[in-house]
Amino acid sequence: MDTRIDYYPTHEYNGFRFRRGRPMPFGATIVPNGVNFSVFSSAATGCTLVLFQKGESKPVVEIPFPEEFRIGSVYCMIVFDLDEERLEYGYRIDGPWEPEHGHRFDRTKILLDPYAKTVGGRDVWLRPPNWDDIYQHRARLVFEDFDWEADTPLEIPMEDLVIYEMHVRGFTQHPLSGVKHRGTYAGIRDKIPYLKSLGVNCVELMPIFEFDEWENGRRHPETGAWLTNYWGYSTLAFFAPKAGFAATGRLGMQVDELKTLVKDLHRNGIEVILDVVFNHTNEGDHRGPTMSFRGLDNKTYYMLTPGGFYYNFSGCGNTLNCNHPVVRNLVLDCLRYWTAEYHVDGFRFDLASILGRDQNGAPLANPPLLESLAYDPVLARSKLIAEAWDAGGLYQVGSFPAYGRWAEWNGKYRDALRRFLKGEMGVAGEMAARIQGSPDVYPYRGPTASVNFVTCHDGFTLSDLVSYNDKHNEANGEYNNDGANDNNSWNHGAEGETDDPEIARLRRRQIKNAVTLLMLSQGVPMLLMGDEFGRTQRGNNNAYCHDNEIAWVDWRLLEQNAELFRYAREVIAFRHAHPVLRRREPFAHADVAASGYPDISFHGTEAWVPDWDGTSRVLAWMLCGKHARVADDYIYVAANAYWDALFFAPPVLPPGMAWHVFANTSMAPPEDIHEVGKEPRLNDGRIMVGPRSLMVLVGR
């Protein structure tokens, strides 16, 4: 390769030797003896490559692209003999400043390459940067030499997943997390044994694409506490891992550290899904900074109003123009890169409905981006999960263009379960659909389209859901105006912390009820980090700005609430043990296995007499194990959301079989749940299900 005729310099500028490059791939690519730089702009009149020595305030050289280096709308150049380890690069773009026509070129700014694979400038979390630096976020090169050994994405079937949503920093940043490198990828690696003991087989990482934790940084108007961009739903560089989440970020080794985490999670049977934010960037609206896309090609990358302002379907100032063919390719390139280079198993798309809007914001019937993602050859086995709504009012749960591939965060599941849990009347009928994988919402796609959850990062934690009637977001410094008002939560008699043992007991029972319903529903369950041991945000349902104990997992609770952890662990094990809980297809509501029972049957306090009355607060159902893909036990659940105990009559089993009690949330531990296979036999025909409790029986 070194001697190829097309790898020799043809030009020289201030001692730097270069030649015309290759337009593809975009970004900076290491080639024999040099680096190929390629950047797109449809309306630029000129482009300059700006090279820095790492950490230096002034560029070492600014090389204008000769006009003959432009191929179409792509500027490309190979520069020879660069020190790749110590190189930082950016671009200056010439072009018109005509906002009314969509152009906001500004030659005074040095711009970040949208394809930058690592970015310097925020190497250590919240270390004060040099605000006078002319180039704050600096593109750097990466070496793709990681030793993956035999690792590949795990390709666990969707129906077998138990997803655990986590924030990389929040998971282990607490002083008592017990890991060596708190708040980092390496910290998660130390917690792999914990994740295994809990039984989850997929972690969904909240945004890890490079973002600026200083963005919108401010002091609380009353307390003076520092508030920061902690969640990171504000992408700066789509191809670069967040350096501040790496213990080795200061050494520039975040790529290796993250890949090591993925490799070790895989080795332990745990998949990795990334929460990706393609709906907007961190450049904000017309008042925001020019860092990359705005200065490269504003009109291509953003949805603009006829007057040249920014459509704001994201609620964050701008909207990425995802169905423009160039932007679509950027998204595809990005996801392929993370799949191929980082062995990531899938993606959850934040405010995904935006990805289905056209360049003027109108919803498309057949959005090219979503179709491309669904049929992409590299992503063919990747999990694709949509948050099927946006901040512009488009709500597509059940109607998201899925192409047989996409799953969705099922917001209807969350709402119905919460309402049932707190004892609302008339929810039993809807709950019957939700526990089946929402066939009313996904009649053709089947249960695996439904990612079921009770809580996620956005809203109350599970413990807070049963401890607060109202949000308490005063610490966010917005006078409690931010965050959702409609939470379907209930405090059970006292707002927040209480020393009333009866209320505390009832709350614990409700947490167990919620986790049980979640894990026994068809579809894909998702648990929020720490909910398995009662994590609280003290009633804050929008902790986006808190890099403190509000948002961090307090690992002391694992011991304090060992009862909850044990319960969650056993119920997750129960899900893994029973294929009848993990169907790929919707129920037939018929006895297709000729077992004498339908695949699913509904019951009330009497067997075979379901209570669909508008005042009903009970739901009981039975799954016939003969209908599972592998012969399984029978499972019966009796959920009583009524305030008094009720007697239920489970269906009679075939001769030779008997009911055994797996869980009874009204009982104190250790009788609340039993190890799989060690469930005690039920002697009586009837069971008494306590107030606001449920029982799970297993028939064998």
Partner 1 sequence: MAFKVSSQVTGDVVSMTLVGELDASSAGAFKSEIDKAVGQSPRSLVLELKDLTFMASAGLRVLIYAKQKLGSGVSLYAVAPQDGIVSTLRMTGFDKSVYIVDQPPPPTPDTGRRT
What is the binding site for partner 1 (CB under 8 A)?
Answer: 54, 83, 85-86, 143, 145-147, 149, 180-181, 186, 246-248, 251-253, 256-257, 259-260, 263-264
Residues 6+ away with beta carbon under 8 Å from 196: 268, 269, 270
Question: Which two tokens mark 251?
Answer: 């050494």
**Which is closer to partner 1, CB of 139 or CB of 519?**
139
CB of 680 vs partner 1, minimal distance in Å: 45
**Partners of residue 103 on adjacent β-strands:** 98
CB of 261 vs partner 1, minimal distance in Å: 8
CB of 238 vs partner 1, minimal distance in Å: 22
387 is catalytic: yes
Give the C-alpha distances (Å, rounded to integers) separating 303 from 104, 289, 300, 318, 358.
14, 17, 8, 7, 9
Gap between the terminal Cα atoms of the chain: 67
**Which is closer to partner 1, CB of 256 or CB of 563?**
256
CA–chain centroid gap for 280, Å, is: 16
271, 275, 283, 350: the active-site residue: 350
- Cis link prior to 447 (omega < 30° from 0)? no
Q: Are 599 and 589 in contact (CB under 8 A)?
A: yes
Rounded-to-integer distance, Cα 672 and Cα 294, Å: 57
Q: Are 228 and 126 in contact (CB under 8 A)?
A: yes
387, 570, 672, 679: the active-site residue: 387
CB of 265 vs partner 1, minimal distance in Å: 12
CB of 177 vs partner 1, minimal distance in Å: 16
**Which is closer to partner 1, CB of 97 or CB of 143?**
143
Question: Which two tokens mark 557?
Answer: 């609770």
Rounded-to-integer distance, Cα 505 and Cα 509, Å: 6
- Cis link prior to 153 (omega < 30° from 0)? no
- Virtual CA dihedral for 493, 495, 497, 502, nearest 10 degrees? 0
Give the amino acid at 433: A
CB of 186 vs partner 1, minimal distance in Å: 5
| Three-state DSSP class for residue 315 | coil
**Which is closer to partner 1, CB of 181 or CB of 584?**
181
Cα three-residue angle 125-190-143, rounded to 5 degrees = 60
**Which is closer to partner 1, CB of 143 or CB of 375?**
143
| Three-state DSSP class for residue 508 | helix
350 is catalytic: yes
- Virtual CA dihedral for 667, 668, 672, 674, nearest 10 degrees? -130
Q: What are phi and psi of 17, to 5 degrees?
A: -105, 140
The DSSP 8-state label assigned to residue 236 in this structure reads S
**Which is closer to partner 1, CB of 12 or CB of 144?**
144
**Which is closer to partner 1, CB of 168 or CB of 550?**
168
CA–chain centroid gap for 432, Å, is: 27
Q: Are 189 and 260 in contact (CB under 8 A)?
A: yes
Burial of 388 (0-12, 13-18, 19+ CB in 10 A): buried
**Which is closer to partner 1, CB of 259 or CB of 583?**
259
Give the long-range contacts of residues 427-430, CB within 8 A, separation 24 or more.
427/617, 427/641, 428/610, 428/611, 428/612, 428/616, 428/617, 428/618, 428/619, 429/612, 429/616
Rounded-to-integer distance, Cα 692 and Cα 423, Å: 8
**Which is closer to partner 1, CB of 180 or CB of 686?**
180
Task: Name which of 473, 470, 582, 460 is nearest 511 in CA terms.
Answer: 460
Burial of 479 (0-12, 13-18, 19+ CB in 10 A): exposed
**Which is closer to partner 1, CB of 163 or CB of 262?**
262
Q: Are 490 and 422 in contact (CB under 8 A)?
A: yes
The residue whose two tokens read 């310097």 is 120
Which residues are catalytically annotated?
350, 387
